[in-house]
Structure 1
Amino acid sequence: MNTTTTISIQIPSLESFTPILGTKASDAIHSNAINIIGFCYDGSTSFRPGARFAPNAIRVASVGMETYSPYADLDMEDYAIFDLGNLPFHPSRRELSANIFDEAVKHLNIRETKAKFLTLGGEHSISFTPISLYLRDYHDLLLIHLDAHTDLRDGYLGDEHSHAAVIKRVHERMQPTQSLLQYGIRSGMKEEFLFMKKHNTLCASLNNLLDKIENTPATRPIYLTLDLDFFDPAYCPGTGTPEPGGENFHSFLKIIKALQAKNLVGADVVELAPNIDPTANSNSFAAIIVREILLAMV
Structure 2
Amino acid sequence: MAEDPLWPRASSWLQPAGSERAELGLFGVLASETSISATGANATPAEIRVALARYSTFSHSQNQDLRQLSFLDFGDSETPDSKDGEERTKALANKVSNQTDLSIALGGDNSISYAVMLGVFGEDLSSAGLITLDAHHDLRDGISNGSPVRRLIEAGLPGSSVVQIGINDFSNSPEYAKRAKDYGVHVIPRSALRNRSVESVFSEALEFLGNKKLHVDIDMDVCDRSVVPACPAAAPGGISADELRQFAFEIGKAKQVKSVDITEIDAMADSADGRTVRLGALTVLELASGFFSR
Shorter-chain TM-score range: 0.7 to 0.9
CA distance in 1, matches of 2:96, 2:54: 35
- Residue 152 of structure 1: CA displacement? 0.6
Conserved? CA contact 2:163–2:186, under 8 Å = yes
2:52 counterpart (53, 62, 75): 62
Which residue of 2 is the match for residue 171 of structure 1? Answer: 153
CA distance in 2, matches of 1:177, 1:195: 10
Which residue of 1 is the match for residue 5 of structure 2? Answer: none
Q: When the two structures are aligned, how many residues end up with a matched partner?
A: 271
Distance 1:114-1:59 versus aligned 2 partners, 3 A rule: closer
> Can you give the 5+ residue segments of structure 1 that lack an aligned partner in the other structure?
1-18, 155-159
Q: Using the TM superposition, name which of 259-268 and 36-45 deviates more.
A: 259-268
Tell me the SS of whatever aligns to 1:118: strand
> Which amino acid is 1:161 matched to?
I
The root-mean-square deviation of aligned C-alpha atoms, in Å, is: 2.9
Distance 1:61-1:45 versus aligned 2 partners, 3 A rule: same
Distance 1:214-1:171 versus aligned 2 partners, 3 A rule: closer
What are the equivalent positions in structure 2 for 1:118-133 lying under 5 Å apart?
A: 118-133=104-119
Which residue of 2 is the match for residue 235 of structure 1? Answer: 227
Which residue of 2 is the match for residue 89 of structure 1? Answer: 79
Conserved? CA contact 1:34–1:117, under 8 Å = yes
- Residue 232 of structure 1: CA displacement? 0.4
2:288 counterpart (281, 288, 294): 294
CA distance in 1, matches of 2:204, 2:59: 25
- TM normalised by structure 2 equals 0.80
Conserved? CA contact 1:21–1:291, under 8 Å = no
- Residue 200 of structure 1: CA displacement? 3.7
- Residue 211 of structure 1: CA displacement? 3.9
Q: Deviations over 1:46-79 (max 9, x none)?
A: 2231101100111111112111223444332111
Query: Aligned pair 1:269/2:262, yes or no?
Result: yes
Which residue of 1 is the match for residue 135 of structure 2? Answer: 148
CA distance in 2, matches of 1:216, 1:193: 19
Q: Deviations over 1:229-265 (max 9, x none)?
A: 1100111111122222100123224434443144321
1:79 counterpart (69, 80, 91): 69
Tell me the SS of whatever aligns to 1:223: strand
What are the equivalent positions in structure 2 for 1:129-208 lying under 5 Å apart?
A: 129-136=115-122, 137=124, 140-154=127-141, 160-176=142-158, 179-186=161-168, 187-198=171-182, 199-204=184-189, 205-206=192-193, 207=196
Q: Using the TM superposition, name which of 24-33 and 144-153 deviates more.
A: 24-33
Which residue of 1 is the match for residue 90 of structure 2? Answer: 102
- Residue 34 of structure 1: CA displacement? 1.9
Distance 1:215-1:200 versus aligned 2 partners, 3 A rule: same
Distance 1:58-1:31 versus aligned 2 partners, 3 A rule: same
Tell me the SS of whatever aligns to 1:184: strand
CA distance in 2, matches of 1:228, 1:68: 24
- Residue 86 of structure 1: CA displacement? 1.6
- Residue 142 of structure 1: CA displacement? 2.3
CA distance in 1, matches of 2:71, 2:56: 15
> Which amino acid is 2:117 matched to?
I
- TM normalised by structure 1 equals 0.79
Tell me the SS of whatever aligns to 1:63: helix
Distance 1:72-1:256 versus aligned 2 partners, 3 A rule: farther
Higher helix share: 2
> Can you give the 5+ residue segments of structure 2 that lack an aligned partner in the other structure?
1-8
